[in-house]
Amino acid sequence: MSSSRARRTFVPTSTVAPPQQQSQESVNTPGLTLPQVISLIDTRLITLEQFMKEQKTTSAPANASVINSDATAQLHEEYNHRFEILTEEIMAMKDLLLKLQSYTMDVNKALYEERIHVFSDLGGLGNSDDGEAEAEVETEVETAAQGLKNLINGVTMTLDE
């Protein structure tokens, strides 16, 4: 009788497929980006702060507080060291970017002056207006270049603060 009940109440077992891993996690990245590093440091600091709050609420012996303060000091030194490394790397990238920008401006100025000379050769050398126009364009280029350099210096001073 029980076997007949078992046959009537037979429920087929369904196979559950294992969850698939996201394809984004399988992408190999050679290192962490700056926002990832900052996020990682932020999460570690939050965890440390929560841990310290929990330690304060529970009464700990005097020896444990000395050990915790040593560990905290070591952790603080490590974070300071990492922060200094990040600061140095950012400053190096900023300097490199400024050098690249200056080089690009110099090349563009040289190309522009060469273009002026080619057009003046094609247009005739006898016109006195060409010399005045060339001088005017050259002063405009120099003024624009100086303005860009001042802007870069202003941004640099802002970043240094």
Q: CA dist 7 to 2, 13, 14, 15, 52, Å? A: 9, 14, 17, 20, 61
> C-alpha angle with apex 68: 64 to 71, nearest 5 degrees?
140
Name every residue whose Cβ is closer than 8 Å to that of residue 141 and which is 6 or more positions away in sequence. 109, 112, 113
Q: How far apart are CA 20 and CA 6, in angstroms?
A: 35
Q: Where are the domains of the chain?
A: 32-160
SS3 assignment, position 61: coil
Better-predicted residue by pLDDT, 136 or 119: 119
Task: Give the lowest-confidence range in 20-34, 114-128, 137-151.
Answer: 20-34
Q: Which parts of 26-101 are beta strand (E)?
A: none
* Predicted confidence (pLDDT) per residue in 39-60, tens digit: 999 999 999 989 888 887 775 5
